[in-house]
Structure 1
């Protein structure tokens, strides 16, 4: 039986993982699935046909080690999905600059390598807002993400100075639509639309992730959302097995919050047809690999 690895991590306590919903569909298609931690250095990746990056949800804490693991997989006989070059392009949020250069509408952002209080304060006027979001360029799960207002900035300065002193980060205007309406995610497998959800933060919060109390709802996207998502996908440097396009409403238009190509939750639990769609996309990609070894 052909073998697949779902690349994960050591400890997923407190996280919601839905990738096991894929396993019966892979098995029906003749594929055996093992879930292995990227931290395990004793794995012979050549024992497997494919390694699909999934719940590696601590990689942002060890970026060099994570990249080294992916490089070792890429050098083995196993095929890494998504591809290593695409993951390296996507691992820092500066990829948004590339997409913006290619005509994709993104959330307005100021990029900074070293923390500066004066520069942070200036962004209130630059973005004409009373509230800013500060977050790392390399991050996941809303780790080290701060909502700072003109009124409370003084209390955040020690934390921000410590967190971002020598760490690249991004400053964005807080978008009220995230609280009022939510954030939308559209899921694509091998370029084909699968399903879409709306993520709404819990009362008093701005983070939409389940782990932070966000509520998730399956929705039907309208054509404007689909068009915005396709513009982002068309601007990618190469094809992906899976992609999650996160959209928010900004000044009445759809703006890309993130294009997730490494380890996004794909919320198979919310769309009963999505596991089969994912496996079908994989099988089509595998068939193409067989035709073009």
Structure 2
């Protein structure tokens, strides 16, 4: 963190920062632990021209989750433009390795978030980002239509334009919609974290689960669950607790594949051809 930003934060919060330490903060932004004699803060800084819009969307997503009073999120203190980009300042949360009882609580709280539906439409009032990719949230009355139009098609188009998928590997819009209308159920909109992999939650020292780095929208609750399983899955106590709140219905494997397709396409567009095989397998299995 440069001295001018440090001084700017000190001025805005009327504090004196004694120590600045670079910490892990993901692949997109630089992250720092700021320490005074009595307080600690977490600051993300990014010089990309879209950084402020990304941080503003993150702030809005955290606020939407916090407003449900079902699961904790870090408190955002500042979200501002800075030079060519922006910065986001939050309370610092010291994490601990999750224990089974922590993950059990996390499962119950995520289910509570998903069950508290306060939207009549799928989507969100504003667009946001997944990673550094723009994510459109234009509202729809129909879940399958939203998922095809606002999730799959933009990523497929991006992959084709970047020559990461060929035109022959991409199903038609008609086929996408037909299969999704067949496999995806009629559901009530749930507020989703939207990017729920293991790096986007933490367990605080007192055992409280926190959600971080959201890509929120109102959608089908199973989409968050599909993302949790994409890279190995969470602790079994998390799923056992979550499933206490939802009846067992058939077709979960197929829906999990369809929902993971979105996240795999995002990874294809962010990180390149190493994700091509998994995207192609799901596309071929369900849409051709």
TM bucket (normalised to shorter chain) is under 0.3
| Greater fraction strand | 1
> What TM-score, normalized to structure 1?
0.27
> What TM-score, normalized to structure 2?
0.28
